[in-house]
């Protein structure tokens, strides 16, 4: 059987792949695994029941899924604090802020509204390593905790959750944003309430789009996967920049004053150089994934910054940060982790630090982003294929080797089976777009032919 957990929790079509029954069972299993060592006959040795923070993005299915998760936890002797609709990084922060035992976020991030997902966080607000997720999956078939009487958990509203998160973000701001005008695209998602408030409180002039969630319109033509809207709004309003979140606001992409996209790699370059200049980039090292543009590595080397590469997934970036006590890492997609302030990617925090650097230096976003030359890149998502067969296919492997030989040091090739969707991603970088396009399409055709279902 395929592994239930993907690169970012358990995700699928709500009420089909991700059912109420599965959500309930996952919560009960998580109570056993994440409460291990804390639960004794349903209670801590101190007499206090374990506590979990739960939150969700505004998609409509989140309403019944969070109810199932809360029921599963409470029926296992866990007290539940329901933070309502908040970004994923807010949930992670709140777990550590109040000393909760663990937490759960209900979101499918950048996916369309019919999908949903369940992400678990450990004590301190960190994502779970694979081995712990495997233990939760194994516990689905094991006996559940079944306390009675006073040992049953309670479900309560986390009344000041948003206020705590807003104050945290403002406290992490290195420079006020007075004089800067930003367009915020909240993707009709979890950032719709918090993000405009924080940027306004920080001194920025804020124009907001994509901030009217109705449960069905999350990521629908807006947000970090549809940057044309924020680019048009920046030009229309004469703003200094635009910032776009995804559905759960754990990522941030930007556009400059001309509407040109500034991606996660360029954002990391800006923040890394700022932190190095201010003596805050520990070991002068940036952590990024294998998907990051070759231009990022070149730019970092030119400024004396080492780049460590990980597998795709912000939790792998976080693991590398924690192993060496480093301070900055992220993904091209806009997940940026600033470990001094957060345990996961935080799109609002990232956007604030981009603008703080603009305010500190007096430079435009385009000037700051010019530190990095982006190598032409193309990504093709090949659907209708058996992604699990990719590693063992010799024809595909030979084609990749031939492409790498052709590119030499002027580019690279990466084939990767998606951890959250049924497809294989083909990525090619080259010093010319035409070369990248040709090689990528040739490889995509081979993948489609060799791995067809």
Virtual torsion, Cα 135, 141, 142, 144, nearest 10 deg: 100
Query: Can you read off the two tokens belonging to residue 423?
Result: 């497809």
Closest residue by Cα to residue 56 from 108, 96, 106: 106
For the chain, the first-to-last Cα distance in angstroms comes to 17
Cα separation, 184 vs 235, whole angstroms: 13
Beta bridge partners of 289: 310
Burial of 379 (0-12, 13-18, 19+ CB in 10 A): middle
Nearest 5 degrees, angle CA 295-CA 298-CA 301?
Answer: 150
Write the DSSP string, 3-60. -S-BTTBEEEEBTTTB-HHHHHHHHHHHHHHHTTTT-BTTB-TTSPPPEEEEEE-S-T
Cα separation, 301 vs 42, whole angstroms: 53
SS3 332: coil
Cα separation, 393 vs 332, whole angstroms: 27
Q: How many CA atoms lie within 13 A of 424 on its CB side?
A: 27
Closest residue by Cα to residue 125 from 158, 157, 102: 102
Per DSSP bridges, beta strands 155-157 and 181-185 are: unpaired
- What is the gyration radius of the CA atoms in the chain, in angstroms? 22
Enumerate the active-site residues. 109
Query: Can you read off the two tokens belonging to residue 102?
Result: 């663990």
Nearest 5 degrees, angle CA 186-CA 190-CA 196?
Answer: 50
Is residue 197 within 8 Å of residue 256, measured between CB atoms?
no
Query: Can you read off the two tokens belonging to residue 316?
Result: 């792998």
Closest residue by Cα to residue 50 from 74, 66, 71, 29: 74
DSSP one-letter code for 125: S
């Amino acid at each position: 059987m395929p592994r239930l957990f993907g690169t970012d929790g358990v995700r699928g079509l709500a009420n089909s792949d991700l059912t109420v029954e599965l959500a309930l069972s996952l919560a009960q299993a998580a109570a056993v695994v994440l409460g291990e060592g804390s639960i004794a006959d349903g209670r801590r040795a101190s007499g206090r029941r374990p506590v979990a923070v739960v939150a969700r993005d505004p998609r409509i299915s989140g309403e019944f899924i969070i109810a199932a998760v809360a029921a599963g936890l409470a029926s296992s002797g866990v007290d539940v604090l329901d933070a309502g609709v908040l970004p994923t990084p807010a949930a992670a922060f709140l777990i550590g802020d109040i000393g909760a035992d663990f937490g759960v976020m209900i979101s499918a991030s950048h996916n369309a509204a019919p999908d949903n997902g369940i992400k678990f966080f450990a004590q301190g607000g960190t994502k779970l390593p694979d081995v712990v997720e495997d233990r939760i999956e194994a516990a689905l078939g094991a006996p559940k905790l079944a306390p009675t009487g006073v040992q049953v958990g309670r479900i309560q509203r986390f009344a000041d959750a948003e206020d705590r998160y807003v104050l945290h973000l403002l406290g992490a701001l290195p420079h006020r944003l007075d004089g800067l005008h930003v367009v915020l695209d909240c993707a009709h998602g979890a950032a719709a309430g918090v993000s405009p408030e924080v940027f306004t409180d920080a001194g920025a002039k804020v124009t907001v789009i994509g901030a009217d969630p109705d449960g069905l319109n999350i990521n629908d033509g807006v947000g970090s996967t549809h940057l044309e809207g924020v680019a048009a709004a920046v030009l229309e309003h004469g703003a200094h920049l635009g910032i776009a979140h995804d559905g759960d606001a754990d990522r941030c992409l930007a556009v400059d004053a001309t509407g040109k996209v500034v991606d996660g790699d360029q954002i990391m370059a800006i923040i890394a150089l700022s932190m190095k200049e201010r003596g805050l980039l520990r070991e002068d090292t940036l952590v990024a994934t294998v998907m990051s543009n070759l231009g990022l590595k070149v730019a970092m080397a030119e400024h004396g910054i080492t780049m460590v590469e990980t597998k795709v997934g912000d939790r792998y970036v976080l693991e590398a940060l924690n192993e060496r006590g480093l301070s900055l890492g992220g993904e091209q997609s806009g997940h940026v982790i600033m470990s001094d302030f957060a345990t996961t990617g935080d799109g609002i925090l990232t956007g604030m630090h981009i603008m703080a650097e603009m305010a500190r230096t007096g430079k435009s976003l385009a000037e700051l982003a010019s530190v990095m030359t982006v190598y032409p890149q193309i990504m093709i998502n090949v659907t209708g294929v058996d992604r699990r067969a990719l590693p063992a296919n010799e024809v595909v492997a030979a084609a990749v080797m031939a492409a790498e030989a052709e590119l030499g040091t002027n580019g690279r090739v990466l084939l990767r089976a998606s951890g959250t969707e049924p497809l294989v991603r083909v990525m090619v970088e080259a010093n010319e777009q035409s070369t990248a396009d040709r090689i990528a399409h040739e490889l995509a055709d081979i993948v489609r032919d060799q791995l067809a279902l």
